[in-house]
Amino acid sequence: DAGVIQSPRHEVTEMGQEVTLRCKPISGHDYLFWYRQTMMRGLELLIYFNNNVPIDDSGMPEDRFSAKMPNASFSTLKIQPSEPRDSAVYFCASSPQDRGFEKLFFGSGTQLSVL
Amino acid sequence: AQKITQTQPGMFVQEKEAVTLDCTYDTSDPSYGLFWYKQPSSGEMIFLIYQGSYDQQNATEGRYSLNFQKARKSANLVISASQLGDSAMYFCAMAVAGKSTFGDGTTLTVKP
């Protein structure tokens, strides 16, 4: 089992540019989560999907952020345009959620730096 | 709304001693799961232990145990026989209806 795969591991971009983060969940997992981690705000849930359908996007900071899950094996988180305050580690996680509360399997994260 | 509170930003423990990391939670849902994750300096998130709201016994996983006090809404993590490799950030989390909420974390430093 390859685990949750995120790419890229590191992304450095300039303010105003579009950034796309990618995630491949563990096969068979029904839930996919996007988290953002910063020193100031800790781990924030941005959005999560169940069977490719967005369930709760109340954590998405603003309209510059969008997330898609076109199929069970792929999701993207896009920031357009990016700003320096978006600099953070972005984690993708997946879960089988058989009971509604299963442990999360995290990817290695994407370290985003917006200059 | 669900809320997780970790009141200890940092903790120190001597190697080979036990340490307790505090976690309190708040939810009105009777069905939930409580988790602890470890994040070492390398950044990955590692699952440690799980406790279900209906579980009668406290969960244990090797040197980790979860002191679950439902009436007090607390789910403290106990690490026995601390090792230098236990130095990391520890997060308490609660999952309700598919959604996981994390506390702010506790940084544990194990002293030799």
Q: Are strands B106-111 and B10-14 parallel, antiparallel or unpaired?
A: parallel
Give the gap in angstroms from C-alpha A81 to the nearest C-alpha of chain B: 26
Q: Which amino acid is at B71?
A: A
More confident residue, B2 or B5: B5
Chain A residues in contact with B96 (beta carbon < 8 A) = 100-101
- pLDDT for res A99: 66
Contact assessment for residue A76 and residue B23, using Cβ atoms and an 8 Å cutoff: no
Q: What's the mean per-residue pLDDT of chain B?
A: 95
Nearest CB among A43, A99, A105 relative to B91 is that of: A43
**B31 with A101: Cβ contact below 8 A:** yes
Q: Which two tokens stand for residue A55?
A: 């369930």
Whether B78 has a pLDDT exceeding 70, the answer reads: yes
> For the stretch B60-99, what's the b/e string if a residue is b when 16 or more beta carbons lie within 10 angstroms of its beta carbon?
eeeebbbbbeeeebbbbbbbeebeeebbbbbbbbbbbebb
Q: pLDDT by residue (tens digit) across A26-71?
A: 999 999 999 999 988 899 999 999 999 999 999 998 899 999 999 9
Whether B74 has a pLDDT exceeding 80, the answer reads: yes
Give the gap in angstroms from C-alpha B8 to the nearest C-alpha of chain A: 14
- pLDDT for res A1: 62
With CA atoms as reference, report the closest residue to B79 among B10, B16, B9. Answer: B16
Q: pLDDT by residue (tens digit) across A93-110?
A: 999 876 667 889 999 999
Positive or negative, the Cα torsion across B23, B24, B26, B29?
positive
